[in-house]
Amino acid sequence: MAALLCVLLHTGSTQAVTEASTSEAPQPISQDAKIIYWVKPAFEPLYIAAGPLRDRGAGDLVIADLERHLPQYDHRVMRANYIRLMGELRRGHNVCAILHYTPERETYTHYSDMLLLIPSYQIYSSVGSIDKLKHHQGWLEGNLGFEPLLANSPKLRMALTPGHSYGKERDNIIGRYREQLNIVRGYAGHETLLKMLMAMRLDVILELPWVINHYQKQFGIDPAQLHKVTLNDVPAFEPVYIVCPKNPWGKAVVTAVNGIEPSISGMVRHYIEDWLKPEEIIEYRKANSIIFPESFPDTIQE
């Protein structure tokens, strides 16, 4: 059972960018200092490659704004998976993306200033599997601790992508219980995991709320058949950054991104909102207003 949790790479395209080959064979990357390759995985709704919303995903729009405000660079798109991206970053090639922070990644990348806080991973379970949570946790409804869930549920079936970050706190908790869990490890799309969950081939998945919302609509899943379990011992929101290789070229790109006026975070804050439910938008704006008060000046009314 090869379940995959795709990565939170974030990047996008505009009509003017040139797309690199999508072949699995590695393609040459120009080391011309004026060229940026924005890595663009198959990850809706951050990047939408087909249909009426093509190039209108949240990541697509972020990169479109970056392109407009960094005209000194030739912006290109590379369709590549997470492993390829990390390999190119380690080799110091001209690639950038939008990623979470991890200490390991910082050893070979430069991070921009914080781009935004985004809603982070929560636990989702189907109606058919919710009884397992109640059995292991004595859980009725409402919030649940991620660490107690893993500690007390050794037979709980969930999926993880090797090398992927789910946020620093979640990564640390997973690391403590990795060997005692019934974890499926592999590579596939978010939609595959959701289908496996609804078919009860998984008990729970760690997923992003805005990704779940997108696929619920796409697959016509009744919201009453899918339970979101808010985790109360890990952050509900995680920062993301522009990330480039740890060399003079990468440092120059990050410096240029940080120098955009007004701040790029103020330009892109609405893009995630398009994929959130009304109650999630309220919490999202509250969280961001603490970090970016100039970008979220309005008082949030509940």
pLDDT digits (tens, 9 = 90+) for 60-76: 999 999 999 999 999 99
Q: Output the pLDDT for position 68.
A: 95
| Tokens of residue 273, six digits | 């909102």
Beta bridge partners of 144: 231
- Of 175, 176, 137, 171, which Cα lies nearest the Cα of 156? 137
State the average pLDDT over residues 164-187.
Answer: 79
Per DSSP, the residues of 106-163 read HTTEEE-S--EEEE--EEEEETTTHHHHHHHH---SS-B-HHHHHHT-TT-EEEE-TT
Of the candidate ranges 38-42, 210-214, 273-277, 290-294, the one whose mean pLDDT is the lowest: 290-294
Q: How confident is the model at residue 16 (pLDDT cuts 50, 70, 90)?
A: very low
Integer Cα distance of 27 and 268 in angstroms: 30
Q: Are 23 and 65 in contact (CB under 8 A)?
A: no
Q: How confident is the model at residue 177 (pLDDT cuts 50, 70, 90)?
A: confident
| Digit-coded pLDDT (tens) for 135-155 | 655 555 667 788 888 887 777
Is the pTM higher than 0.85?
no
Integer Cα distance of 227 and 248 in angstroms: 46
Compute φ and ψ for 297, nearest 5 degrees: -75, -20
Of the candidate ranges 6-10, 27-31, 108-112, 188-192, the one whose mean pLDDT is the lowest: 6-10
Integer Cα distance of 235 and 156 in angstroms: 22
Q: Are 200 and 126 in contact (CB under 8 A)?
A: yes
